[in-house]
Amino acid sequence: MSLETLSETRSFGGTQGVYRHASQATGTDMIFAVYLPEMALHGRVPVLWYLSGLTCTHDNAMTKAAAQQWCDEAGIAIVFPDTSPRGEGVANDEAYDLGQGAGFYVNATQDPWKPHFQMWDYITAELPDLVAENFAVDADAMGITGHSMGGHGALTIAMTHPDRYKSVSAFSPIANPTESDWGRKQLTAYLGEDRDTWRAHDASILMAEKGYPGEVLIDQGANDQFLDLLRPESLAHAMMARRQPGQFRMQPGYDHSYFFVQSFMADHVFWHAERLI
């Protein structure tokens, strides 16, 4: 698969790059970012996938999450994909929480979304193959994390493919979308009215039904302005009922912003590094 380099910049001893490619999964051009630590000059390194939230592109977390320093120190790469297909001819909605910038990491089965909104396949199959082919990363040592909608994606993907993702964490994930206005609207639009098809994309349901074979790290801001939409208590209860190994941390005073993500990014990077290296 051909890859176009849009930029490459030295950062904390490693290289922060931005790239574009023609995606077969989405039928559009897609842009993503990869940070390679200095250690990648000497061989393949583990890779952490960071899935972003509503309205974000690859750029938001790349520039605001403050991950590069910690990734270089830990010796792991980090990938920042986009959150949806984009461009002329791609369906969209006037609301910020549906359409472009709001792919919800599912494969849409409903029109007008179905032709391009195949983000599950893009994130779990096509883009990992492309990254492994073009960068010095170890495809057998992958972890996944994300924020908000991206935390939802990270958890559901990891619990569905635990053999593929050796570590998982999340920042303020949309934890119970089948019971939230951040979820029911999007899952209806992308997957249709049959609620049974939604279950595979609800982290609280997946945690109750199957869990994750390793430890899970969740950080949630206690002053998050979107707590009623995120429903963290549903995921916490499912983890406790299952006796899922890991940590669910309510962080006092923190909201939903990238300042919250920045504050705990080092913890998450080193959490993954310990499980991937």
For residues 166 and 217, give the distance between their C-alpha atoms in angstroms, rounded to a whole number: 13
**Residue 193, class by beta-carbon neighbours within 10 Å (0-12 exposed, 13-18 middle, 19+ buried)?**
exposed
Residue type at position 23: S
pTM: 0.98
Residue 22 clears pLDDT 80, i.e. is over it: yes
Q: Of 11, 148, 180, 234, which is the active-site residue?
A: 148
**Mean predicted lDDT score pLDDT of the chain:** 98
- What are the tens digits of pLDDT across the range 159-184? 999 999 999 999 999 999 999 999 99
| Active-site residue flag, 224 | yes
Report the topology of domain 11-274: Rossmann fold (3.40.50)
pLDDT single digits (tens) 194-217: 999 999 999 999 999 999 999 999
Cα 208 from Cα 154, distance rounded (Å): 16
Number of residues written out for the chain: 277
Asked if 256 is an active-site residue, the reply is yes
Of the listed 202, 204, 224, 234, which one is catalytic?
224
Catalytic residue among 58, 116, 256, 272: 256
